[in-house]
């Protein structure tokens, strides 16, 4: 059995785990990213993780996912989101030299999608769209049985596609971006406005998606309608993707997806009503399965695959 170390390097914490056959057999303690002063200390921490987990048995490979622009082919981290100091860092080669392991580096959203494909909800899919709904709306594509990265390795930014070309302006010049409708904070904001307009003080102190799910589950009509709207908007974006990419699998994860069927049901209806039956009847649309472990498992799988090449 091959053992691989998967590392999910986030802006807030560094999560790690020892993975065997797609399962985490030992979790590392989460390390607060900001507790480490700059890239050299962070790299030391990654090397220490490899040494620590190597005590369980011989490691074959180590995969690191990072939030930012990561060139998988050259192994260079060009820039990280919310973690300063990472500029053109040849992370793969540094880690390979210091640990002796096969090392891969990958963008975090792509690694999570890879995990769901190899060991989660997108298992056995061939043309897959993975979405993560949180503060941002991110995504990644597996196309024709391969992780698809795009010309500048920037593919999968589903949150920035537009569902209304004359809609409100988003942060990068586009109008009516999906994220402006269904990002975590935008959901809270519209819920606040909806309750206020209805003269209700039900959720005005905390309109988070979590509270909104609880309210909808209790039958609150405003909350239910908001989830309907969110599902229709997300479904509209996914329907466009269905027309263009014709996937067999759509997987939706992230904090906002914890709404479960409250979200998934209107998403399915929206996609079904906006696309052809011959196509939509064959799409599997489901929630992500691996949760917070998707990055660890995906990075370990990517590293193992690189080791076997």
- 73 part of the interface to a second copy, by CB under 8 A: no
Q: Does 274 bind a second copy (CB under 8 A)?
A: yes
* 55, 201, 278, 309: residue in contact with a second copy (rule CB under 8 A): 278
Task: Residue 212: name the closest of 179, 182, 234 by CA.
Answer: 182
CA separation, residue 144 to residues 38, 233, 235, 280, 306 (Å)? 39, 27, 23, 18, 19
Residue 276 as a binder of a second copy (CB under 8 A): the answer is yes
| Closer residue to a second copy (CB): 282 or 308 | 282
Structure tokens at 157: 């930014």
The answer to whether residue 164 forms part of the interface with a second copy (CB under 8 A) is yes
What residues numbered 1-60 form the site for a second copy, per CB under 8 A?
none
Among candidate residues 143, 173, 138, the one with its CA nearest the CA of residue 158? 138
Residue 282 engages a second copy in binding (rule: CB under 8 A): yes
Give me the least distance between CB of 186 and a second copy, in Å please. 15
At residue 26, what are phi and psi to the nearest 5 degrees?
-155, 130
Cα(249)–Cα(238) distance, integer angstroms: 11
Q: Which of 58, 173, 199, 219 binds a second copy (CB under 8 A)?
A: 173
Residue 97 makes CB contacts below 8 A (sequence gap 6+) with none
Residue indicated by tokens 């799409």:
283
Alpha helices in 54-126 (DSSP H): 91-99, 108-119
Which of 109, 105, 113 lies closest to 89 in space, CA to CA?
Answer: 105
Instruction: Identify whether the C-beta of residue 175 lies closer than 8 Å to the C-beta of residue 165.
Output: yes
Q: Residues 34, 189, 273, 292: which binds a second copy (CB under 8 A)?
A: 273
Residue 133: count of CB within 10 angstroms of its CB: 29
Contacts of residue 207, defined as CB under 8 A and 6 or more positions apart, other chains included, come to 187, 188, 189, 191, 192, 195
From 175, 208, 214, 255, residue interacting with a second copy (rule: CB under 8 A): 175
CB of residue 40 to a second copy, shortest distance in Å? 27
Least distance to a second copy, CB of residue 298, Å: 19
Residue 229 interacts with a second copy (CB under 8 A): yes or no: no
Binding mask 124-163 for a second copy (x = CB under 8 A): --xx-----------x-x-xx-x-xxxxxxxxxxx-xxxx
283, 294, 297, 304: residue in contact with a second copy (rule CB under 8 A): 283
Task: Please answer whether residues 120 and 296 qualify as being in contact, where contact means their C-beta atoms are separated by less than 8 angstroms.
Answer: no
Asked if 65 interacts with a second copy (CB under 8 A), we say no
Q: Shortest distance, CB of residue 306 to a second copy, whole angstroms?
A: 17
Question: Contact residues for a second copy (CB under 8 A)?
Answer: 126-127, 139, 141, 143-144, 146, 148-158, 160-166, 172-176, 232-233, 236-237, 239-241, 243-248, 273-276, 278-279, 282-283
């Amino acid at each position: 059995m091959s053992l691989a170390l998967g590392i999910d390097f986030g802006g807030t914490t560094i999560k790690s785990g020892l993975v065997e056959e797609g399962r985490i057999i030992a979790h590392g303690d989460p390390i607060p990213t900001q507790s480490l002063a700059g890239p050299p200390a962070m790299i030391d921490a990654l090397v220490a993780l490899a040494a620590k987990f190597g005590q369980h048995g011989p490691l074959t490979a180590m995969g690191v996912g990072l939030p930012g622009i990561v060139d998988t082919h050259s192994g260079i981290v060009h820039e990280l989101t919310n973690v300063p100091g990472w500029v053109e860092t040849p992370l793969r080669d540094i880690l390979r030299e210091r640990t002796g392991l096969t090392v891969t580096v990958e963008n975090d959203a792509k690694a999570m999608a890879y995990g769901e494909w190899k060991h989660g909800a997108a298992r056995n899919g061939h043309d897959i769209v993975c979405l993560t709904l949180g503060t941002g709306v991110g995504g990644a594509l597996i196309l024709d049985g391969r992780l698809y990265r795009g010309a500048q390795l920037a593919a999968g930014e589903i949150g920035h596609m537009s569902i209304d070309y004359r809609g409100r302006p988003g942060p990068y010049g586009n109008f009516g971006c999906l994220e402006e409708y269904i990002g975590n904070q935008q959901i809270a904001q519209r819920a606040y406005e909806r309750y206020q307009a209805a003269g209700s003080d039900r959720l005005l102190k905390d309109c988070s998606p979590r509270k909104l799910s609880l309210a909808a589950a209790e039958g609150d009509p405003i909350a239910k309608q908001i989830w309907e709207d969110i599902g229709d908007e997300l479904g509209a974006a996914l329907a466009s993707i269905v027309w263009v990419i014709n996937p067999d699998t759509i997987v939706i994860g992230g904090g906002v997806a914890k709404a479960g069927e409250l979200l998934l049901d209107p998403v399915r209806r929206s996609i079904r009503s906006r696309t052809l039956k011959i196509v939509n009847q064959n799409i599997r649309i489901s929630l992500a399965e691996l949760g917070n472990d998707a990055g660890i498992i995906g990075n370990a799988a990517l590293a193992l695959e690189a080791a076997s090449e």
